Amino acid sequence: MSIQKLVRKDFELLDQQDPLASFRELFHLPIDTVYLDGNSLGVMPLAAIDRMNDVLKREWAEDLIRSWNDNHWFEAPLRIGDKIAQLIGADDGEVIATDSVSINLFKLMVAALNMQKGTGRKVILSEAGNFPTDLYMMEGLKSMLGDQVELVIVDRDHIEESINEDVAVVLLTDVHYKTGHLLNKKSLTERAHKKGALVIWDLCHSAGALPVDLNGISADMAVGCGYKYLNGGPGAPAFLFVAKRHQAKLQQPLSGWWGHARPFAFVDEYEAGPGISSMLCSTQGVLGLSCLEVSIDLFLKADMQAVRNKSVQMCDLFIRLLDEKCSDYNFEVISPLDSTERGSQVSFAHEQGYPIVQAMIDQKVIGDFRAPNVMRFGFTPLYLKYVDVWQAVIVLEEIMQNGTWDQEKFKRVSAVT
Amino acid sequence: MSIQKLVRKDFELLDQQDPLASFRELFHLPIDTVYLDGNSLGVMPLAAIDRMNDVLKREWAEDLIRSWNDNHWFEAPLRIGDKIAQLIGADDGEVIATDSVSINLFKLMVAALNMQKGTGRKVILSEAGNFPTDLYMMEGLKSMLGDQVELVIVDRDHIEESINEDVAVVLLTDVHYKTGHLLNKKSLTERAHKKGALVIWDLCHSAGALPVDLNGISADMAVGCGYKYLNGGPGAPAFLFVAKRHQAKLQQPLSGWWGHARPFAFVDEYEAGPGISSMLCSTQGVLGLSCLEVSIDLFLKADMQAVRNKSVQMCDLFIRLLDEKCSDYNFEVISPLDSTERGSQVSFAHEQGYPIVQAMIDQKVIGDFRAPNVMRFGFTPLYLKYVDVWQAVIVLEEIMQNGTWDQEKFKRVSAVT
């Protein structure tokens, strides 16, 4: 890259040299659209169409109830879990695809507290401004357990020092959903273990976005999302991880029949299934799981380090180009400028962030807005081109130059965005 | 119906007169198959194909993140809940389609216990041999709450007398999954209310199978299954009901961000959304919900009393024909003979039940087996013909006459059936 100002040609050249370029054609992208919101809802792998039609027309409609065995529906959560494991540095039997992130967090928090029984520890520690559902699920747990648990929420800068001998469980999201800030999972996990605490990592914005090596850092537990970077479809099943060394002591309260050692014995007493299977609760949505598996299969063909390299380069270029083109418009980059501290997104603050994001969407550059003032852009190397980075900033520049964001139609704040 | 022995012609005549006959062509049924397992997994409505392709190709692939608003994904749990409400005698805003039966039971049990706070009641009462997941979820709850809750499990004959002033919550399944026995929801609910207890009805084997009038019996809470009689697809989302009069006091612990009053405010503190929406936990699977909605829309065109009439007649005919054709083979009908005490299934016990069911499946009559010795046949009037009843029993008779069930291939007991 020259120190001259960036030109479109620079991006085109990078696309020509991109080792991941061939993946793009495996996804459907709307024409002329620059989709920088794959960190919220990933795009559709084209193979999903045929797979879902097969699930509907053959597996469900023709094979019906026999599909639980013959088409391996029963095994799907474990089978897909084993595949996801390969993306996050886990082993077979350590990951299961099931339920939602929030529900999986609930299971793991209780399981972790159960492992800490007798230690006198009762603190669950998390970060202020963590993705809200993590904090809300902590609140929900406290509403049941009362004085048996104490919630401690600290600022990012005080996490490490707050992990002390009172802490039972640390619940952290490694990549912050709003800023993209990437925590050091290794050092925080080491700190926690030194102090006798267990850590639950929320990988919602890292699984599929960057290399994650859970066993490499001796992680205890983790959860992650199927529908963001993993492209599993809207509201796709989530996943959870429990390290093998903890599985013998695993006990969770959402003990439905699918977590039973012999679900079809139909006995009145619960007996937890072996290992990670005990984290299942009940009948899982086959449509959602099947669609997720299509996408995971595709991910397994990608080199996650190549994904990371492209992601870092795209984010760096986006920040640089924003500076070159839009320095007059008071955008404040709130994502770390140092790529080693950043996930796969770039966020910046602007007091008119909402209408500006809407004006960009109107011009087919899709990012999103997070209250109160954050414009957020996710970079998903499997299906984005480098020229998408160029295009996004050029569109933003035009909007700011022409003041087209300042129109009535962009000012309405929706109830849900 | 004559008192002469039944002949095939009798069934053909009933089909000609069947007011529900036209519904069958709205579903896909495998050729030459008699599917009597719709109480386990309902068949596919043909409209599911087009709808799912639309969800995939347009809503997800093209409209992407905008679909949460533009294609009304966010509203799906409440919208579909309002539709299900029409099938179970509930009002708008009392039902929500979400999560699984087991998880919904957990939420409701805790919500009911919260409503009983200060009364000193701590018993959750259920039936021995209730569908296991109900009992397992009770166990899981107790594992968290310890002495704050006491589980009492009694035989069916002792349920009513066991509902006393110590009982906080009664958790009952109205139609027994194994026997098809139908409890009197009205009298049991009245008894519970007289004693100050709340009742959670598990409608897994009644919603879509027979008329249910929750508000007509002043029901408190209920859950139900989307993939059995409701034909929502494998592992379809479940639903839950909370009567309007209880909603102001509703508090449940799986308080994820979708249950928040303002999920996109992204504040750190949980604030429950209004009414039934507070029973949502987290992002719901759009594929599963969309498919369920197709089927519910179809159900709304059916007269549930006509469904019940046909169901009763089919079950009565099945039992009578079984007696006429198979009285030599030691089948013991364990379903109530009185249709007012029976759901939409007929079960009978036989010590060789497993291989006999397998031999029937081999002859394309699909029922299922429930340990230790129960042969179970579900009747789903929207897509079954009366001649299916004839065909099923004739096949069974042939198998018993010829001894073709007694073959090595039918003796192997699968791990999961």
pLDDT, one tens digit per residue, over B246-287 is 999 999 999 999 999 999 999 999 999 999 999 999 999 999
| 8 A C-beta contact, residue B383 and residue B27 | yes
Residues with Cβ within 8 Å of residue B190, at least 6 apart in sequence: B217, B218
Asked if the model's pLDDT at residue B109 lies above 50, the reply is yes
Task: Assess if residue B144 is contained within a domain.
Answer: yes
Interface test with B, best of A65, A69, A225 (most B CBs within 10 A): A65
Q: Do B255 and A137 make contact, defined as CB atoms within 8 angstroms?
A: yes
Q: Which of B354, B376, B377, B383 is catalytic?
A: B376
- From chain A, the residues in CB contact with B56 under 8 A are 44, 48-49, 52, 233
Same domain, residue pair B105 and B35: no
Give tens-digit pLDDT for B185-239. Answer: 999 999 999 999 999 999 999 999 999 999 999 999 999 999 999 999 999 999 9
Q: Chain A residue closest to B366 (CA)?
A: A65
Q: Chain B residue closest to A111 (CA)?
A: B144
Asked if the model's pLDDT at residue B414 lies above 80, the reply is no
Residue-number span of the structural domain to which B166 is assigned: 72-299
- Tell me if residue B131 is catalytic: yes
Interface test with A, best of B71, B282, B295, B412 (most A CBs within 10 A): B282
Q: Residue range B95-122: average pLDDT? A: 98
Q: Do A103 and B101 make contact, defined as CB atoms within 8 angstroms?
A: no
Task: Assess if residue B56 is contained within a domain.
Answer: no
Same domain, residue pair B328 and B270: no
Q: Chain B residue closest to A62 (CA)?
A: B30
Same domain, residue pair B295 and B307: no
pLDDT averaged over chain B? 96
Q: Which of B202, B220, B368, B388 is catalytic?
A: B202
Give me the CATH number covering residue A356: 3.90.1150.10
Task: Assess if residue B400 is contained within a domain.
Answer: yes
Query: What pLDDT is recorded for position A235?
Result: 98
- From chain B, the residues in CB contact with A135 under 8 A are 268-270
- Tell me if residue B227 is catalytic: yes
Asked if the model's pLDDT at residue B45 lies above 50, the reply is yes
Task: Assess if residue B415 is contained within a domain.
Answer: no
Q: Which of B11, B27, B35, B131 is catalytic?
A: B131
Same domain, residue pair B86 and B226: yes
- From chain A, the residues in CB contact with B286 under 8 A are 233-235
Query: How does strand A345-349 pair with strand A374-378?
Result: antiparallel
Q: Chain B residue closest to A130 (CA)?
A: B268
- Percentage of chain B with pLDDT > 70? 98
- Tell me if residue B228 is catalytic: yes
Task: Assess if residue A55 is contained within a domain.
Answer: no
| 8 A C-beta contact, residue A377 and residue A361 | no
pTM equals: 0.97
Give tens-digit pLDDT for B279-310. Answer: 999 999 999 999 999 999 999 999 999 999 99
Q: Residue range B361-366: average pLDDT? A: 96
- From chain B, the residues in CB contact with A59 under 8 A are 234
Give me the CATH number covering residue B158: 3.40.640.10
Last residue of a domain, one of A258, A283, A299: A299
Query: What pLDDT is recorded for position B181?
Result: 98
Q: Which of B51, B228, B325, B385 is catalytic?
A: B228
The strand ranges marked E within A237-324 are: 239-242
Same domain, residue pair B273 and B374: no
Size of the A and B interface in Cβ pairs below 8 Å = 278
Closest CA to B181 of B379, B345, B392: B345
- Consecutive 10-residue runs of chain A (417 residues): their mean pLDDT? 85 98 98 97 98 98 96 98 98 98 98 97 97 97 97 97 98 97 98 98 98 98 98 98 97 97 94 97 97 98 97 98 97 97 98 95 95 95 98 98 88 52
| Residue A14 Cα, gap to closest chain B Cα (Å) | 26
Instruction: Select the residue of B69, B137, B270 nearest A136 (Cβ to Cβ).
Output: B270
Query: What pLDDT is recorded for position A410?
Result: 85
Same domain, residue pair B311 and B335: yes
Q: Residue range B47-66: average pLDDT? A: 98
How far is C-alpha B75 from the chain's CA centre?
A: 23
Does the complex come out with an ipTM higher than 0.90? yes
- From chain A, the residues in CB contact with B284 under 8 A are 100, 235
Same domain, residue pair B238 and B259: yes
Q: Do B235 and A284 make contact, defined as CB atoms within 8 angstroms?
A: yes
Task: Assess if residue B178 is contained within a domain.
Answer: yes
- Percentage of chain B with pLDDT > 90? 95
Task: Assess if residue A62 is contained within a domain.
Answer: no
| 8 A C-beta contact, residue A364 and residue A335 | no
Last residue of a domain, one of A299, A323, A353: A299
Same domain, residue pair A316 and A292: no
Asked if the model's pLDDT at residue B415 lies above 50, the reply is no
Same domain, residue pair B315 and B367: yes
The residues of A carrying an active-site annotation are: 131, 202, 227-228, 376
Instruction: Select the residue of A61, A133, A281 nearest B100 (Cβ to Cβ).
Output: A281
Q: Residue range B111-131: average pLDDT? A: 97
- From chain A, the residues in CB contact with B110 under 8 A are 144
Same domain, residue pair B37 and B156: no
Query: What pLDDT is recorded for position A413?
Result: 53
Interface test with A, best of B67, B136, B260 (most A CBs within 10 A): B136
CA pair distance B371, B10, nearest whole angstrom:
34
- From chain A, the residues in CB contact with B28 under 8 A are 57, 61-62
Task: Assess if residue A374 is contained within a domain.
Answer: yes
Query: What pLDDT is recorded for position B409?
Result: 77
Last residue of a domain, one of B299, B334, B360: B299
Q: Chain A residue closest to B36 (CA)?
A: A65
Instruction: Select the residue of B64, B103, B266 nearest A132 (Cβ to Cβ).
Output: B266
Same domain, residue pair B276 and B223: yes
Same domain, residue pair B116 and B253: yes
Asked if the model's pLDDT at residue B412 lies above 60, the reply is no
| Full 3-state SS string of chain B | CCCCCCCHHHHHHHHHHCCCHHHHHHEECCCCCEECCCCCCCCEECHHHHHHHHHHHHHHCCCHHHHHHHCCCCCHHHHHHHHHHHHCCCCCCCEEECCCHHHHHHHHHHHHHHHCCCCCCCEEEEECCCCHHHHHHHHHHHHHHHHHCEEEEECHHHHHHHCCCCEEEEEEECECCCCCEECCHHHHHHHHHHCCCEEEEECCCCCCCCCCCCHHHCCCEEEECCCCCCCCCCCCCCEEEECHHHHCCCCCCCCCHHHECCHHHCCCCCCECCHHHHHCCCCCCHHHHHHHHHHHHHHCCCCHHHHHHHHHHHHHHHHHHHHHHHHHHCCEECCCCCHHHECCEEEEECCCHHHHHHHHHHCCEECEEECCCEEEEECCCCCCCHHHHHHHHHHHHHHHHHCCCCCHHHCCCCCCC
The domain total for chain B is 2
Q: Do B128 and A254 make contact, defined as CB atoms within 8 angstroms?
A: no
